Amino acid sequence: MSNDTLKTIKSRRAIRSFTTEQIKDAELQTILEAARYAPSAMNRQLWHFTVIQDQTLLKDMTATTKKDAIKTAPDFMQERMKSDTFSFWHNAPTVIIISGADENRFAATDCANATYSMMLAAESLKIGTCWIASGMMLFETANAQAYKERLKIPAGYTPLYSIAVGYINGDEPAFPERKADVVTYFK
Residue 68's pLDDT is 79
Closest alpha carbon to 168 in 23, 7, 41, 70: 23
Residue 96's pLDDT is 98
CA 143 to chain centre: 20
Residue 79's pLDDT is 84
**Is residue 2 pLDDT above 80, yes or no?**
no
**Is residue 72 pLDDT above 80, yes or no?**
no
- Distance of CA 17 to CAs 127, 133, 165, 174, 186, Å? 11, 17, 10, 14, 43
Check residue 155 and report its DSSP letter: T
Residue 75's pLDDT is 84
* Mean confidence (pLDDT) of the chain: 94
Between residues 77 and 3, which one has the greater pLDDT?
3
**64-78, 105-119, 148-162, 165-179: which has the minimum mean pLDDT?**
64-78
All structural domains of the chain = 12-54+87-166 (3.40.109.10)
Of the pLDDT bands very low, low, confident and very high (cuts 50, 70, 90), residue 82 is confident
**pLDDT tens by residue, 159-187:** 999 999 999 999 888 888 899 999 999 99
Of the pLDDT bands very low, low, confident and very high (cuts 50, 70, 90), residue 71 is confident
